[in-house]
């Protein structure tokens, strides 16, 4: 049988206090995650609907959950010690409540920015590689090219075909018509 760690009586209050604080943190985090899970369940039900219908259902189902979450967060803030990690998290959310609840009023807005984060991840991962582009001017050129490539990808273009066509037409393109080569307006040149 393993030896039990001996607690002195004077250590008991500190041990109980430590356990109690960690239990409170766990319960608060667990409850917050339950609210957030409800919001994501609503989103999974309406993911494929039209924006207007998505907004309407959010108003009916998600607004009450967000209101309950907001009231709960305010109540919890009064219970946690000032300066604790939980108090900082609650304060952070409260300061940004308008941004957090913005998606409720627009069916075209997603509940989170995961899609955008996934789109920029390849560029963010290579950031250190591009840190030393040679000069500020080279860095700006690299950023412009990366933006152009990502925009073409988002517009559904074959990158090779797009870049080949744009780079072929660019030297003879009129300055007033240069906007036609941007990914959202681009139409491949007719080949004869």
In tens, the pLDDT along 45-90 reads 999 999 999 999 999 999 999 999 999 999 999 888 888 888 999 9
65 Cβ partners below 8 Å, 6+ apart?
Answer: 35, 38, 39, 42
CA distances from 33 to 6, 65, 113 (A): 37, 12, 18
pLDDT score of 6: 43
Q: What is the pLDDT of residues 122-162, one digit of tens each?
A: 767 666 666 666 777 887 888 888 888 989 998 999 999 99
**Strand runs (DSSP E) across 27-171, as ranges?**
none
């Amino acid at each position: 049988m393993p030896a039990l760690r001996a607690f002195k009586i004077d250590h008991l209050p500190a041990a109980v206090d430590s356990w109690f604080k960690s239990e409170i943190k766990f319960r608060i985090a667990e409850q917050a995650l339950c609210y957030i899970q409800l919001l994501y369940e609503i989103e999974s039900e309406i993911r494929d609907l039209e924006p207007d219908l998505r907004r309407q259902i959010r108003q009916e189902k998600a607004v009450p959950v967000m209101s309950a979450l907001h009231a709960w967060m305010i109540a919890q803030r009064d219970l946690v010690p000032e300066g604790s990690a939980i108090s900082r998290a609650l304060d952070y959310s409260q300061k940004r409540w308008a941004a957090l609840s913005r998606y409720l009023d627009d069916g075209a807005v997603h509940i989170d920015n995961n899609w955008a984060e996934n789109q920029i991840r390849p560029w963010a991962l290579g950031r250190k590689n591009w840190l030393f582009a040679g000069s500020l001017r080279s860095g700006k050129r690299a950023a412009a090219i990366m933006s152009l490539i990502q925009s073409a990808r988002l517009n559904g273009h074959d990158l090779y075909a797009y870049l080949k066509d744009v780079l072929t037409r660019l030297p003879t393109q009129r300055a007033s018509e240069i906007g036609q080569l941007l990914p959202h307006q681009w139409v491949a040149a007719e080949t004869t």
